[in-house]
Structure 1
Amino acid sequence: MEMTDHVELVVELPWKWNPPEVGWFKINVDGAIFSKQKCVGIGVLIRDELVRVEAALSKKVDAPLGAMEVEAKVLEAGLLFARDVGLQDVVLEGDLVNLINALCGTSSPPAAVEPTIMDVLDLCRQFRNLAFSHVHRKGNVPAHLLAKHVSNIADFISWIEENSYCIEQALIQDVLSFFRFQ
């Protein structure tokens, strides 16, 4: 694969989701911790500039990870999923600003997740164009719901060019808030 020729930080309004530029796809990621079950949930939602769902993923990881480790893992899972779907121009968006800053090179990653962040940066080379973006948790609700959805599944479930029923209402709210404030 060729080296990524476009890496940048995109600063969004902190409280709402915004679609990517024309021709790009936005990968929203989030995690959920299930302490009693000693597992975590990974949620990945990929949408285009017209707010259409390209792909979505709910994945269970049987490991008792902490919040920072989960958030680093979801960044990696989001890029792996986008690569597997065949996307080349993507914005990776999450709600933990210090990890997004570490990916952009504006700060060092926390020591506990440095190897995972290095793996994410290595994955970045497999995309033609890549940007990073931070969004407030309120703007990341569908990805969070996908992460919580793993309590209902054994391993993982993915949707290609369709919406998961568990995020329908949150997707509608994203669209309404985007168009309301244009």
Structure 2
Amino acid sequence: METNSLEVLNLWATRHDSRSVVAPILLDIEELTTSFPSFDICHVVRSTNGPAHICAKHACTIERTDSWLDNTPRFLVSSLLADCPANTFNQ
């Protein structure tokens, strides 16, 4: 998993000794990761994580939960197309 948050990365690294309010969530995530052959969290700079940043920015602007079951929102398609040099995502 990639994150542009060094705080998340540091919390993950110290999840067993952490008194943070998110520690139980991280331990739950750790339990879920046992079903994968391997799992790691690494840091990436925000500029290389464009679509994730755009999704997070969008989430901060809405007052309700969005779910996209039948169609992909336009802002997400645009960011994925811009992030993929070969444009392998079809609209």
Fold match by TM threshold 0.5: yes
Superposed, which structure 2 residues align to 1:29-178 within 5 Å? Answer: 92-100=1-9, 102-103=11-12, 107-109=13-15, 111-112=19-20, 113-150=22-59, 151-152=61-62, 154-159=64-69, 163-176=72-85
The answer for unaligned runs of 5 or more in structure 2 is 87-91
Match of 2:89 in 1: none
Structure 2 length as normaliser, TM-score?
Answer: 0.61
RMSD between superposed Cα atoms in Å: 2.9
TM-score calculated relative to the size of structure 1 = 0.36
How many angstroms apart in 2 are the aligned matches of 1:139 and 1:159?
26
The structure with the largest alpha-carbon Rg is 2
Higher helix share: 2
Letter in 2 for 1:111: R
| Residues matched between the structures, number | 82
Distance 1:176 1:137 in 2: 17
Are the equivalent residues in 1 in contact too, given 2:11–2:23 (CA < 8 A)? Answer: no
More contact order relative to length (CA 8 Å, sep ≥ 6): 1
Bigger fraction of residues in strand: 1
Q: Where does the alignment leave 5 or more consecutive residues of structure 1 unmatched? A: 1-91, 178-182
Percent of aligned pairs with the same residue?
A: 23
